[in-house]
Amino acid sequence: MKYDVLIIGAGPGGIFSAYELLKQDPALKIAVLEAGNPLEKRHCPIDNKKIKRCIGCSTCAIMNGFGGAGAFSDGKYNITNQFGGTLYEHIGRGEALSLMRYVDALNLQFGGEGTKLYSTANSRLKKICLQNDLHLLDAQVRHLGTDVNYIVLQNLYAHLSEHVDFYFRCYAKQIEKTKDGYRVIAGEECFDAPYCIVSTGRSGSKWMESICSALGIHTKSNRVDIGVRVELPAEVFSHLTDELYESKLVYRTKKFQDNVRTFCMNPRGVVVSENTNGIVTVNGHSYEDPSRYTENTNFALLVSNHFSEPFKDSNEYGESIARLSNMLGGGVIVQRFGDLIRGQRSTESRIRSSFLKPTLSATPGDLSLVIPKRQMDDIIEMIYALDKVAPGTASDETLLYGVEVKFYNLEVEIDENLETKHKGLYVIGDCSGVTHSLSHASASGVYVARHLVQTRKEKNEQKH
């Protein structure tokens, strides 16, 4: 099947690539190949009644399908260069921010109108944090919520599906370089096009590594973040979340001089599990609709691990820790902070008798048997630091779910146009190792679409 452009992956990068390609040149023939399901068929079997834990579906509905891993996230678009990726190193700081704002405007246009844009600008809380060795990163944060994010994706799909051919449950096995461009082999089908955009997200990390190896594209090891998801009463962090919604706080530990950061804060949200390549880890969601609020707030505490020679597989390190958690707990382990400090495992009776009620059914256990001592010491020190700006964080009943692992793809060698050494083959979004967020991935899709259309136009002009 012949097309002008092939897009592999229907996550935020792929979606906004397709949108911008259509806008710039409506005559383009575009195909999007997605290993998962359409949005309406993405259903996780966990209902906390009959099925309480991950059952290892062949394709994880939380991680794959239209909308990518961000479809059922809490829908936070962070407009900033301070975190979320290093897109600005390729395209410039000003251009990166401009594209993120453009995507934000599109989200509002497709159903996100009325949602709030938060900002850390001139925040009095920044001073309080600095006085306690915590650094509040600058950002504007658009919170769509899991519910409104779903509506935005529905509307985007309705718009795109009239002009773009979507192939779901279509797993791209390999990409071949041809005389006229690229051939993508997916099962019994072959797709050909002069241009190919790869946007397979975090869940496509191992696949991306094999594709780069086959095509001789250089990669370098990235990092992996290991940590826990903290759940506590919403009132403990309300003075931060009411003003900022999400506060990205970084702390350098006294003991090891490691950086620990808060990540993916979900005021009045829920803790969830997710399956990446058969490994069950923990995450968090939140909603815009007040009727779906809980009494708890959750966020991740992550320790970044950068490795030097000779070790190269940072993701395998993270996966081995997650497998240990899965082995001991059958999935996600939960422990009360007080039990961790006293060196005892949590039990169902202790958790049941606590005032704080967990939002995820997880196995009570001992996280110190799973997470390496250095990272665990970092996390404990961070919790005590947070307790100074949000008293109650270090409460005995604060819940820690583990493990939370943020895998980063090997950083793919791409130029300032996010193009590989093979002209016409672009790698965008989280699978590139360059972006680590919804906003940066979406912005990279828009950028590549504009560059591709301009390149194609110039080539056509040269022919004539």
Q: What is the per-residue pLDDT across 156-180, written as a single tens digit (0 to 9) for each?
A: 999 999 999 999 999 999 999 999 9
**Does 189 reside within a domain?**
yes
Which structural domain range is residue 319 located in?
Answer: 223-407
Sign of CA dihedral 105, 106, 110, 112: negative
61 and 174 together in one domain: yes
420 lies in the same domain as 291? no
- At 461, is the pLDDT very low, low, confident or very high (cuts 50, 70, 90)? confident
End-to-end CA distance of the chain: 26
The answer to whether residue 130 is domain-embedded is no
Long-range contacts from 347-352, C-beta under 8 angstroms, 24+ separation:
351/399
User: What is the pLDDT at residue 368?
Assistant: 97
Task: State the total domains in the chain.
Answer: 2
State residue 186's pLDDT score: 95
pLDDT tens for 121-132 read: 877 899 999 999
> 275 and 368 share a domain?
yes
Half-sphere exposure of 201 (CA within 13 A, CB side): 26
Domain match, 212 and 275 both: no
pLDDT for 222: 65
Confirm whether 371 is domain-assigned: yes
Query: What pLDDT sits at residue 315?
Result: 77
Same domain? For 266 and 375 the reply is: yes
205 and 276 fall within a common domain: no
Are residue 382 and residue 309 in the same domain, yes or no? yes
Do residues 56 and 104 both lie within one domain?
Answer: yes
Q: Which residue among 390, 407, 424 closes a domain?
A: 407
Q: Indicate if 305 and 433 belong to the same structural domain.
A: no
**pLDDT tens digits, one per residue of 235-288:** 999 999 999 998 999 999 999 999 999 999 999 999 999 887 788 999 999 988
| pLDDT tens profile 183-200 | 999 989 999 999 999 999
Residues 288 and 388 in one domain: yes
Could you tell me if 251 and 198 lie in one domain?
no
Instruction: Identify whether residues 80 and 204 lie together within a single domain.
Output: yes
* DSSP-derived secondary structure letter, 305: E
Residue 283's Cβ-count burial label (10 Å; 0-12, 13-18, 19+) is buried
Most confident by average pLDDT, 186-190, 232-236, 430-434: 232-236
**pLDDT at residue 345 tops 80:** yes
| Residue 427 counted as domain residue | yes
Give how far Cα 170 sits from Cα of 54, 184, 219, Å.
23, 11, 26
In a domain, 172, yes or no: yes
Query: For the domain that residue 70 is a member of, what is the CATH number?
Result: 3.50.50.60
Q: Domain boundary at 362, 392, 407, which?
A: 407
Task: Give yes or no for residue 329 having a pLDDT over 70.
Answer: yes
